[in-house]
Amino acid sequence: MEKIILVHVTGNDRPGLTAELSEVLAGFNVDILDIGQVVIHNFLTLGILVRLPHDSQPVLKDLLFKAHELGVTMKLHPLAESDYASWVGEADKQRHIITLLARSISAEQIAAITAVVSESGLNIDTIHRLSGRVPLAGRPAQNSRACVEFTVRGTPPDIAALRAKFLDISAELVADIAFQEDNIFRRNRRLVAFDMDSTLIQAEVIDELAKEAGVGEQVAAITEAAMRGELDFKQSLRKRLSLLEGLDESVLCRVAERLPLTEGAERLISTLKNVGYKIAILSGGFTYFGNILKERLGIDHVHANELEIVDGKLTGRALGEIVDAQKKAELLQAIADQEGISLQQVIAVGDGANDLPMLNLAGLGIAFHAKPKVKKGARQAISNLGLDSILYLIGVRDRDVR
């Protein structure tokens, strides 16, 4: 009768250790049913699930002797066939990825997340650090990044409730927690679409123009209400633009020169471009500024509102159809169709209420440094790190970028 044994090895890691152990098994023509290995600070944990013939003593004896030679600890765990069959039967269980993002990782954050996982009837399969190794000298830098990824198995009874718990933890422990289904689309995104103002850049352009026109406070108040979803976007934009009537065209260049990119924007976009992503701006802002970013960052698609200018002066009106919430969603669908990709392969990023339809249409929609209403309405949210932390949500490690 065949035997199923889990071989569990721990000890100091060194090159060739796994090779020497597997060579022993190869000498007896052993079948490997599963294998997994992790090394933390040069300490190895290795598991090999093997199927042995009835006369298993020779292979186990040689295996234990080899472990002694290598100076590692080996434990052998026999498994009943019924237990193994049950484990195989769980292979089709739904899997999800939980991503913890913060400036630094604390035990309190890990404890809070794993408690929710347990309460939801999920089981953790793997835990990996995606961010770089942390030096001991000094405190984490202001723009530091830390990320741990959990793979969990099972189907939560209430995904909305689980996301709400993670959102509460995020606010309390200064961290961001993403919960995604682990499927082929997560590893095969192809397009990312950004809102521009307060997402790709750290400003609201129309507010900056209003300052130049001497109506900054009036316009900023309308902008804030619109982003909270308290005003119809088209109506609010027309009202704000009307206050800019007569502004000299030369002001646009002056404002563009002082617009700061959001933390991590260049690193994110250059990384994604290098691996073949298409990049889009879908903005309720203005094409003048979107086209400047297009040239600077290599963006493929820009859709925004066009300011009407007559005799070198802003007329206080926009040309053509205003890009509002619904239009953003329509444009996202059109670009995906044009590029020949599924919406499940699309990432959308925005901060305002007018971004929600776009965020919820995309396979991965992210509310970025957004208002509470937008965070709750989107499936994912980032509030503590820069735009390049999005790389972690698609499984990219820091070492992959370097």
Domain boundary among 38, 72, 89: 89
CA angle 205, 209, 213 (to 5 degrees): 165
Residues 226 and 368 occupy one common structural domain: yes
Strands 364-368 and 301-310: unpaired
Residues 243 and 341 occupy one common structural domain: yes
pLDDT of residue 142: 65
Strand partners for 261? 201
Q: Which residue out of 197, 207, 324, 351 is catalytically annotated?
A: 197
Strand partners for 75? 8
Does 394 reside within a domain?
A: yes
Residues 285 and 369 occupy one common structural domain: yes
What does the pLDDT look like over 116-158, one tens digit per residue? 999 999 999 999 999 998 887 765 566 789 999 999 999 999 9
What does the pLDDT look like over 260-316, one tens digit per residue? 999 999 999 999 999 999 999 999 999 999 999 999 999 999 999 999 999 999 999
Residues 78 and 100 occupy one common structural domain: no
Residues 13 and 138 occupy one common structural domain: no
The one-letter amino acid code at 303 reads H
- pTM here is 0.91
Q: Which residue out of 13, 176, 195, 324 is catalytically annotated?
A: 195
As a whole-number percent, the residues of the chain with pLDDT over 70 amount to 98
Alpha carbons 399 and 145: distance in angstroms, whole number? 13
Domain boundary among 89, 109, 127: 89
3-state secondary structure of 101: strand
Q: Can 311 be counted among the known catalytic residues?
A: no
Read off the CATH number of the domain in which 68 is found.
3.30.70.260
pLDDT of residue 358: 98
Q: Can 197 be counted among the known catalytic residues?
A: yes
Does 138 reside within a domain?
A: yes
3-state secondary structure of 182: coil
Residue 356: C-alpha distances to residues 200, 229, 305, 329, 375 (Å): 16, 10, 18, 9, 9
Strand partners for 347? 192, 364
Q: Is 43 left (phi over 0), alpha (psi -120 to 50) or beta?
A: beta
Residues 198 and 325 occupy one common structural domain: yes
Does 135 reside within a domain?
A: yes
Instruction: Point out the residues of the chain with pLDDT beneath 50.
Output: none
pLDDT of residue 139: 58
pLDDT of residue 170: 96
State the DSSP code for 140: P
pLDDT of residue 93: 84
Alpha carbons 390 and 264: distance in angstroms, whole number? 9
Does 186 reside within a domain?
A: no
Secondary structure percentages of the chain, helix, strand, coil, to 5: 40, 30, 30
Domain count, the chain: 3
Alpha carbons 76 and 73: distance in angstroms, whole number? 10
Helix axis angle for 265-274 and 287-297, nearest 10°, is 60
pLDDT of residue 138: 60
Read off the CATH number of the domain in which 355 is found.
3.40.50.1000
pLDDT of residue 89: 84
pLDDT of residue 345: 97
Residues 163 and 211 occupy one common structural domain: no
Q: Is 211 left (phi over 0), alpha (psi -120 to 50) or beta?
A: alpha
Residues 47 and 76 occupy one common structural domain: yes
What range does the domain containing 161 cover?
A: 93-181
Residues 112 and 254 occupy one common structural domain: no
